[in-house]
Amino acid sequence: MRRIVAAGLLFALVVWTSCAFAETTIYYQAEGMQEKKIAITVDDCIYASGLNSILDMAQEYGMSITFFPNGQNMRDNPEVFQRMVAEGHEIANHCQNHRNLLRKTDEVIARQLHQMEITTQEVLGFPYKITMMRPPFGNGAYRTSPSYIAEQIGKAGYEYIIMWSIDSTREKTVLSRVEPGSILLFHSDKQDVACLREVLPLLVEQGYEFVTVSELLGIPGCAPVPEEEWANYPLGSTTTYVTWGETTKLHLGTDPKQTVITTLSKGTEIEVLRMENDWAHVLYEGKVYYCAAGALRKK
């Protein structure tokens, strides 16, 4: 049994599921915001060059941004996501792959969300708490039937589904629709980056402050887990392997040119989270790294 309460012309919808699941709220913007605060959000996060340009603009205009990447895109350019966190931005869940969640089973939805969480920890190298999600293809049926997947999202442990109130790369459209509490949707391609370059100085002139979604809505944010709490955020089951080459290099990513963090000597025990193609995702001294799968043997 569930019920939906609509408030503020559908700017926030609350879906109650049974007590076994999380209470899920769907936000389109911050209702009743008086301060001139808005949230810039970036979906998918495919293009590293575009993301770095957006991060540069964030520094220039003092913005805090909430990014909604797909997990599969994070592995291609780990440094840019490490930069996001280092510079104080939020990373929220947009699923592991850009799959439409409508008419998917509870198991598929939970796997998409939880795999993205694991990928985020692997890319960052430390546990990271994610409190919000945005469904891929979030328009359409999600707006006309907002409770359709809210129960499944709640079952997966998410209390906050973040939509948006403005989705446009036209300067005039953005400026005509923006208001205190708006959540703006962008991507990392050239058209979106160009639009941001045009509208940001104009929004600053109008007195707007750019904050994360969690600050805008007053909900728990996404952030690195304090080191003293890492034991409470396991990455899943591991298998013990040993290094068998004379030296085994641990990398931040799956490109051999990535920064080598450390080199292990032959016979060193190491915990493997999983094997993927030619690379092993390994847990070493509490952090996640990559190494060549061929350099390891089961203990």
Q: What are the domain boundaries of the chain?
A: 4-227, 236-298
- The pLDDT of residue 47: 96
Q: Which of 81-85, 103-107, 140-144, 255-259 has the lowest mean pLDDT?
A: 140-144
Q: How far is CA 49 from the centre of its chain?
A: 18
pTM of the predicted structure, to 2 decimals? 0.75
- The pLDDT of residue 201: 98
pLDDT tier, 230 (very low <50, low <70, confident <90, very high otherwise): confident
Architecture of domain 236-298: Roll (2.30)
| Res. 6: pLDDT tops 50 | no
pLDDT tier, 57 (very low <50, low <70, confident <90, very high otherwise): very high
**CATH homologous superfamily for 4-227?**
Glycoside hydrolase/deacetylase (3.20.20.370)
| Res. 297: pLDDT tops 90 | no
Q: Which residues contact 109 (CB under 8 A, 6 or more apart)?
A: 101, 149, 152, 153, 155, 156
- The pLDDT of residue 12: 52
How does pLDDT run across 263-279, given as a tens digit for each residue?
Answer: 999 999 988 877 766 78
Q: Which of 138-147, 151-160, 186-195 has the lowest mean pLDDT?
A: 138-147
Q: Which residues contact 154 (CB under 8 A, 6 or more apart)?
A: 15, 17, 21, 22, 23, 24
